[in-house]
């Protein structure tokens, strides 16, 4: 296995180096060697960690949950790492750059889900679960339908999120490393498969921790350099931004995108409750020893993420002042034309503006590392849903040994890697932030209602959870397809022809999911439903006290 890692790593590096060298000769964006070298150092370090993790990954618990050996602080950093995706870093700073205050509304929505997770979910989740959130949802319900539903919700969420990350990666690498989009996407796919198949959750967690540290350091440096340029006078920065931005003082308004109150509230719901239904985040709660560490994880994650969003706001305003009016960063040196590399690039250009080429190389490498780490976490959670929920429980009814289950997970990882590469190529032109919003809407409408009710409501039955989860899922995806973002922008129908006029479906799909869970539970008079309600007592005692909960591996 270690030989495989080494040859895989070698092949990846050769592919990267040769394509970069090729691109350097050809016309097109110049290769940023600082970025390439810093990124190569990151890849070598993380492959080293994968090698180390592979030696320690012996059991299914090691593979899925890092043996339950991660501490609260480490897990908090890893969760923050999963959450501070490239869509957050590049996307939100780009949103602030183009629309000002509107970007901060997104950040706040992304953050406020965390206190809710802490108050209602973190501890019961840790006390009831093993590897996936389906373990919790199916704790007292019938395994086959509930796991099938949860795995579907997981895969849909993971795939939408993966597309967003792959597309972001492709565009970024194309710009910075001068690498062809196709090679860039393949490179991300191969590295991610190596991390996950060989190193499992241990490697994925450490890759995430290192990247979160780098991202926090990089963003802090940039924000400080921006503020330093204004003598640490935040007021002066805002005043200058209002002066130079084409929309002037309109950038302090919530923006045209929330002109519609229903859209504003709907988006707020998707962001807030979607967080509590993201499978790759929920999975992290099983990597710590007990409920106490789970609790600490959420506190650290909330702190890091909140701090990070304040930084992105400063970075976005810095970009308005230092990148916006500078022709050097615009296509053809014309500030009325778009930014070089596309709309998601203000943070990267700002790095060059405040810290020169070395800083730009560093931030670019960190952004790429971010995508790689998030993609790995997503893939691991998708693979776990297939192997642990679908393969082991639904198809083999639990009659499968651990080794076979982990093998299934590794095979799924490779398949998901290939699927991610293909989707990344197909959806090359899609709006990244929109795909992330869709993933959140599905998580809020399908995964979140089933998970929350299974833990907190005695009356939930298998029928209610199964129907409610699928109705939420279908409604979220269906409404999105007929919303302007897909119906008009992707399918090319006439403007104003979309049946569903709002930007996010969550305000309808999430309550509908909850309502169907409730309706089809209370009308369920079957004998199994009675048994499931009776089993709630024992589940509740365990969820509250942790007695009988999955223990950490003995080390």
Partner 1 sequence: MDEQTIKRIQSDPNYQKLVAERTSFGWTLTIITLVIYYGFIALVAFAPSVIAVPVAGSITIGIILGVAIIIASILLTGIYVMRANSQYDELNNAIVNAAGMGGK
- Judged on CB neighbours under 10 Å (0-12, 13-18, 19+), 119 is exposed
The Cα 328–Cα 361 span in angstroms is: 17
Q: Which of 26, 37, 239, 358 binds partner 1 (CB under 8 A)?
A: 239
Q: Which is nearer to partner 1, 125 or 373 (CB)?
A: 125
The residues, ordered by sequence, that sit 6+ positions from 503 with a Cβ below 8 Å of its Cβ are 257, 260, 263, 266, 267, 437, 483, 484, 485
Residue-level length of the chain: 555
Closest distance between partner 1 and the C-beta of residue 32, in Å?
Answer: 33
Are the beta carbons of 339 and 346 closer than 8 angstroms? Answer: yes
The Cα 141–Cα 460 span in angstroms is: 9
Q: Which is nearer to partner 1, 261 or 496 (CB)?
A: 261
Interface with partner 1, residue 229, by CB under 8 A = no
Closest distance between partner 1 and the C-beta of residue 505, in Å?
Answer: 17
Q: Looking at the DSSP assignment, which residues form a beta bridge with residue 70? A: 288
Closest distance between partner 1 and the C-beta of residue 240, in Å?
Answer: 9
Q: Which is nearer to partner 1, 104 or 146 (CB)?
A: 104
Site string for partner 1, 465-484 (x = CB under 8 A): --------------------
Interface with partner 1, residue 302, by CB under 8 A = yes
Q: Which of 89, 97, 114, 440 binds partner 1 (CB under 8 A)?
A: 114
Q: Which is nearer to partner 1, 76 or 145 (CB)?
A: 76
Q: Which of 298, 363, 367, 451 binds partner 1 (CB under 8 A)?
A: 298
Interface with partner 1, residue 548, by CB under 8 A = yes
Closest distance between partner 1 and the C-beta of residue 332, in Å?
Answer: 32
The Cα 232–Cα 222 span in angstroms is: 13
Q: Which of 77, 84, 105, 187 binds partner 1 (CB under 8 A)?
A: 105
Interface with partner 1, residue 249, by CB under 8 A = yes
The structure tokens 């019961």 sit at 124
CA distances from 357 to 32, 55, 324, 384 (A): 8, 38, 18, 40
The Cα 270–Cα 251 span in angstroms is: 24
Closest distance between partner 1 and the C-beta of residue 300, in Å?
Answer: 9
Structure tokens at 143: 């395994």
CA distances from 130 to 68, 282, 291, 316, 550 (A): 9, 11, 13, 40, 6
Closest distance between partner 1 and the C-beta of residue 67, in Å?
Answer: 17
Contacts with partner 1, residue ranges (CB under 8 A): 101, 104-105, 107-109, 111-112, 114-116, 118-120, 123, 234-235, 238-239, 242, 249, 252-254, 258, 261, 264-265, 268, 272, 290, 292, 295-296, 298-299, 302-303, 306, 309-310, 313, 537-538, 541-542, 544-548, 551
């Amino acid at each position: 296995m270690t030989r495989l890692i080494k040859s895989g790593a070698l092949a990846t590096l050769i592919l990267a180096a040769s394509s970069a060298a090729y691109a350097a000769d050809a016309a097109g964006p110049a290769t940023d060697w600082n970025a390439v070298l810093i990124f190569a150092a990151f890849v070598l370090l993380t492959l080293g960690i994968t090698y180390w993790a592979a030696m320690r990954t012996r059991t299914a618990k090691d593979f899925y949950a890092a043996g339950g050996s991660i501490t609260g602080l480490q897990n908090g950093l890893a969760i923050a790492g999963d959450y501070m995706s490239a869509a957050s870093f590049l996307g939100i700073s780009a949103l602030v750059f183009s629309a000002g205050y509107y970007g901060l509304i997104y950040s706040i929505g992304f953050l406020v889900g965390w206190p809710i997770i802490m108050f209602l979910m973190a501890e019961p989740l840790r006390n009831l679960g093993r590897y996936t959130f389906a373990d919790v949802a199916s704790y007292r319900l019938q395994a086959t339908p509930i796991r099938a539903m949860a795995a579907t919700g997981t895969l849909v969420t993971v795939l939408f999120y993966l597309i967003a990350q792959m597309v972001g990666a492709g565009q970024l690498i194309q710009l910075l490393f001068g690498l062809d989009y196709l090679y860039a996407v393949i490179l991300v796919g191969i590295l991610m498969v190596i991390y996950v198949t060989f190193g499992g959750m241990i490697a994925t967690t450490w890759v995430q921790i290192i990247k979160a540290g780098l991202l926090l350091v990089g963003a802090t440096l940039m924000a400080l350099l921006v503020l330093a340029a204004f003598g640490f006078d935040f007021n002066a920065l805002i005043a200058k931004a209002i002066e130079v931005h084409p929309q002037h003082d309109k950038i302090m308004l919530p923006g045209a995108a929330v002109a519609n109150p229903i859209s504003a509230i709907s988006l707020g719901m998707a962001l807030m409750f979607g967080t509590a239904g993201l499978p790759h985040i929920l999975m992290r709660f099983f990597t710590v020893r007990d409920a106490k560490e789970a609790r600490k994880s959420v506190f650290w994650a909330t702190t890091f993420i909140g701090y990070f969003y304040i930084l992105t706001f400063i970075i976005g305003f810095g970009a308005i002042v230092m990148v916006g009016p500078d022709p050097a960063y615009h296509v053809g040196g014309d500030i009325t034309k778009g930014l070089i590399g596309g709309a998601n690039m203000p943070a990267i250009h700002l790095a060059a503006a405040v810290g020169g080429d070395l800083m730009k190389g560093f931030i670019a490498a960190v952004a790429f590392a971010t995508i790689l780490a998030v993609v790995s976490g997503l893939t691991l959670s998708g693979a776990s849903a297939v192997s642990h929920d679908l393969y082991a429980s639904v198809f083999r009814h639990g009659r499968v040994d651990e080794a076979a289950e982990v093998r299934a997970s590794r095979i799924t990882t490779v398949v998901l890697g290939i699927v991610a590469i293909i989707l990344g190529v197909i959806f090359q032109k899609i709006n990244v932030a929109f795909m992330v919003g869709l993933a959140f809407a599905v998580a809020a409408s399908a995964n979140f209602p089933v998970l929350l009710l299974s833990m907190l409501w005695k009356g939930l039955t298998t029928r209610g959870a199964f129907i409610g989860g699928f109705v939420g899922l279908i409604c979220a995806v269906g409404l999105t397809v007929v919303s302007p973002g897909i119906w008009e922008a992707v399918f090319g129908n006439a403007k104003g022809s979309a049946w569903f006029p709002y930007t996010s479906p969550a305000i309808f799909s999430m309550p509908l999911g909850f309502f169907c869970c409730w309706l089809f539970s209370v009308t369920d008079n079957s004998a199994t439903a009675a048994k499931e309600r009776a089993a709630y007592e024992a589940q509740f005692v365990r969820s509250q006290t942790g007695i009988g909960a999955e223990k950490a591996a003995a080390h």
